[in-house]
Amino acid sequence: MTILTAMANLLPHLENEEMFLPLWHGVFQMAHNVQGASPHWDGQPLETDQVSLDSLKRWLRHWALVRHRDGAERCLLTAIANGASPGEVADLLASAATDRIVSDSGQVVDFMNKAFELLGLIGWEHASEVLPTVVGPLVNARGGEETSQWRHPVDLVSMLRQVDEELSR
Amino acid sequence: MQEGHRHGPPAPNVTAGLTKVLLGEDPSAIIEALKGALQRGVPPVKLSKEVAYAAAVRICRFTTTNEFSDWITVLAHIHLLQRAAPDAQARVQQ
């Protein structure tokens, strides 16, 4: 999906007869990616619109940290179903993605970014289909705090957490 | 003629010298520099562009004798993150 979006971004710079080439490449990569994979059953939003965005954010961050995919996905879908703006949903996901330090070498933020770019191209009404695809990488990501290179010889994680606290004061 | 006054005085460059610190090898200096910039009110989007610039400079200086896999790291990871970070922040602020 990342490649397809990047390819779609090229279209304005291309002549009509060249447009199919990047799109073909993108679709091919996407098909290759999902080949043989078991289907993903769509999650459902919570059946209430009484939950505040702050609660959803807190829950999403919690589910992401404990690597609970369904929980995280339902929080995200509830926010979308309750009419959160693209900026609010981006904030929701970005907060969860940055709880782990440079989660998966930054790939989570990158996937997220491309998913939002894709929605910019095809329309926000597809959000509940496109955005759940980033929940898997989000909850499965390894953060810098889990690897030794961020801990030794200098414990960067504790330095960053301290700055985090100082700045949020 | 107002020639020469048209653009007013140049805006003070609050992030001057940041690239040099970012490209250095002292993690505490880098963290302090970024924290200081944020505390002085530099917008996060501007700051992440500064980091992106430093990442680009690092790529320019990366020698061709380095291993291929190291190139993947420096190009793909650093640059993609630095491209995604300003975009993501701009999006959150919408």
In a domain, A18, yes or no: yes
Which residues neighbour A85 within 8 Å (Cβ) at sequence distance 6 or greater? B94
**Shortest CA distance to A115 belongs to which of B93, B77, B87, B47?**
B87
Which chain B residue is nearest to residue A165, measuring alpha carbons? B35
Contacts for B67-76: CB closer than 8 Å, 24+ residues apart? B73/A105
Residues A24 and A58 in one domain: no
Range of the domain at A13: 1-30
pLDDT of residue B6: 47
pLDDT bracket for residue B13 (50, 70, 90):
low
Q: Chain A: give the shortest CA distance to residue B79, in Å.
A: 10
Chain B residues in contact with A96 (beta carbon < 8 A): none
- Spatial distance between the Cα atoms of A126 and B30, rounded to a whole number of angstroms: 40
In this structure, is residue A86 part of a structural domain? yes
Instruction: State residue B4's pLDDT score.
Output: 45
Is the pLDDT score of B26 beyond 80? yes
Q: What is the pLDDT of residue A29?
A: 94
The reported pLDDT for the residue numbered A12 is 92
**Closest CA–CA distance from residue B62 to any residue of chain A (Å):** 19
Tell whether A46 is covered by a domain: no
Residue B14 pLDDT:
59
**Residue range A101-126, pLDDT digits in tens:** 888 877 888 888 899 999 999 999 99
Same domain, A96 and A15: no
What pLDDT is attached to residue B15? Answer: 67
ipTM above 0.95, yes or no: no
The angle subtended at Cα B94 by Cα A102 and Cα A60, nearest 5°, is 50
Domain count for chain A: 2
User: Coil, strand or helix: which one is A154?
Assistant: coil
B88:A87 CB<8 A = no
């499965």: which residue's tokens? A140
Regarding whether A67 and A16 lie in a shared domain, the answer is: no
CB A109, CB B85: distance < 8 Å: yes
pLDDT on residue A107: 82
Closest by Cβ to A113, choosing from B73, B87, B93? B87
> Cβ B92–A90 below 8 Å, yes or no?
yes
Q: What does the pLDDT read at residue A102?
A: 80
A71-102 pLDDT per residue, tens: 999 999 999 999 999 999 999 998 998 888 88
Q: What distance in Å separates residue B52's CA from the closest CA in chain A?
A: 13
- B88 touching chain A per CB within 8 A: yes
Query: What's the pLDDT score for residue A129?
Result: 92
Residues A71 and A152 in one domain: yes
Asked if A24 and A65 sit in the same domain, the reply is no
Give pLDDT, residue B1. Answer: 45
More confident: B89 or B10? B89
Q: What is the mean pLDDT of residues A44-70?
A: 92
Q: Tokens at residue A114, please?
A: 């491309």
A82 is written with which tokens? 């309750």
Residues A19, A59 share a domain: no
Asked whether the beta carbons of A53 and A79 are under 8 A apart, the reply is: yes
Query: Domain spans of chain B?
Result: 18-92
Both structure tokens of A107 = 């790939």
pLDDT at residue A32 in the model: 93
Pair A4, A61 in one domain: no
Nearest to B33 by CA among B46, B57, B49, B16: B16
- Does the structure show a pLDDT above 50 at A19? yes
Q: Does B42 touch chain A (CB under 8 A)?
A: no
Is position A36 within any domain?
no
Of the candidates A105, A110, A159, the beta carbon closest to that of B31 is on A159
Q: Within 10 Å of residue B54's Cβ, how many Cβ atoms?
A: 20
Q: Which residue has the tokens 């829950």?
A: A59
Nearest to B92 among A91, A154, A160 (CB): A91
Q: What is the CATH number of the domain that holds A82?
A: 1.20.272
